[in-house]
Amino acid sequence: MLIGLLTAVAASICYGTGSVLQAVGSRRAARMSPAAAGVTAHGGPNLSSTAKAAMTWEFIVGTILDFVGFGLGALAARLLPLFLSQTVISANLVITAVLSVKMLGIRLSRKEWASIGVVCTALVLLATAAGHEGGHHAPMSTHWWLLGITLLLMVGGTVAVRLLGGGAAILAGLLSGLGFGALGVGVRILDGVDPFDLGTLLTDPALYAILVAGIGGMYLHTVALQIGSVNGATAALVVGETVLPGAIGVLWLGDASRPGLAWLAALGFVMAVAGAVAVAWYGKHEGADEGAAAPVPEPVG
C-alpha cells in the first residue's frame, strides 16, 4: 500500500508540473502567431496551432513529465484500488494551481484555495479508508467495450470540441479526463503483463484502448489549456479521470475499503469530486479574463 501511495503521489507531481509547463508553451505559441491564424471557424484552436504549441521547449518538457507520470500512474493503478490511485493522481490539481501562481501569474481567489483544501482533505480521507485492490482479470468482452467506448469518447469528443470552439475548455478537460480514466482501467485489466506474454499483450483490445485514450486525452488536454483556464481545465480533467475508473473498480473489479470505513471512502470520493468541480467553476472566469487581457502583438515591420 505504501509503495503504491508514494508512486501515485510522484505521478501526481509529474502530471501537475507537466500541465503548467504545457500551458506556458501553449500560450507562448499563441502569442507568437497572428491573431487569425491557428483557429477554426468556431474560434477554437486547429491542429496546426496545437502542433506549434507542442513544439515549444516548455511543452516538450511537460510532455516528458507526463510520460513519466503515466508510467508511475500505471504502476499505482495495479497496486492500489482505482478509486484511491486515480484520486491521488488527480491531486495534481493542487500542484497545477500552486505552480500556476508562480509561472503563469494567476491569482487564486479564496474560494479556489478553499476548494483546493477540500480536495486535499478528501485525499486524506480516501487514503485512510482504502482497503485492498481487487483483481486484474475482466472478461474479454469488457476489454472490447473499453476500446469501443474510448474510441467514441476521443473521436466524438474531438469533433465536438472543434465545433464548439473557444467555449469548450471545460468540455475538453472533462473528455481528456475520461480518456485518462479509461487508460487507468485499461492498465488495470491488461492481459499479458504478469506473467509477461508478448503475444497476449499485443492481441488484447485493452492495449489499444490505452493508446487511444493516452493520445486522445493528451490532445484534448492541450486544447483545453490553449483556450481556457489551466486550473479549470485541470479540475474538469480530475472529475473525468476519477469518477469513472473509481466506480468501475468498485462495481466490477472488486476494489474495497477497509471494514467499516466504506462511508469514509464515499465521503472522501464525493468531497474530491465536489472540490474539483468548485475549482473548475471558479477558475473558468480566469481563462476568459486572461484571454482578453493578452492581445496578440502586431508583426513588426
Range in 165-179, 249-263, 284-298 with the lowest mean pLDDT? 284-298
203: pLDDT strictly greater than 80: yes
Q: Any residues with CB less than 8 A from the CB of 222 and at least 6 apart, and which?
A: 22, 26, 50, 53, 54, 59
Band of residue 284 on the pLDDT scale cut at 50, 70, 90:
low
Encode the chain in three state secondary structure.
CHHHHHHHHHHHHHHHHHHHHHHHHHHHHHHCCCCCCCECCCCCECHHHHHHHHCCHHHHHHHHHHHHHHHHHHHHHHHCCHHHHHHHHCCHHHHHHHHHHHHCCCCCCHHHHHHHHHHHHHHHHHHHHECCCCCCCCCHHHHHHHHHHHHHHHHHHHHHHHHHHHHCHHHHHHHHHHHHHHHHHHHHHCCCCCCCCHHHHHCCHHHHHHHHHHHHHHHHHHHHHHHCCHHHHHHHHHHHHHHHHHHHHHHHCCCCECCCCHHHHHHHHHHHHHHHHHHHHHHHHHHHHHHHHCCCCCCCC
Global pTM value? 0.72
Looking at per-residue pLDDT, the higher value among 246 and 148 belongs to: 148
- Give percent above pLDDT 90 in the chain: 14
Instruction: State residue 294's pLDDT score.
Output: 40
Mean pLDDT (whole number) for 158-167: 78
CA distances, 35 to each of 28, 31, 103, 244, 269 (Å): 13, 8, 23, 38, 42
Most confident of 4-8, 200-204, 262-266: 200-204
Chain segment 42-73, per-residue pLDDT in tens: 455 555 666 666 678 888 898 899 889 888 98
Range in 13-27, 90-104, 139-153, 202-216 with the lowest mean pLDDT? 90-104
Instruction: State residue 36's pLDDT score.
Output: 45
Instruction: State residue 117's pLDDT score.
Output: 86
29: pLDDT strictly greater than 60: yes
Phi and psi based region of residue 38 (left: phi greater than 0; alpha: psi -120 to 50; beta: remaining): left
Instruction: State residue 295's pLDDT score.
Output: 39
CA distances, 250 to each of 77, 140, 154, 254 (Å): 13, 19, 24, 5
| Whole-number average pLDDT of the chain | 78
Mean pLDDT (whole number) for 37-41: 51
Band of residue 301 on the pLDDT scale cut at 50, 70, 90:
very low
277: pLDDT strictly greater than 90: no
Looking at per-residue pLDDT, the higher value among 131 and 220 belongs to: 220
Instruction: State residue 47's pLDDT score.
Output: 59
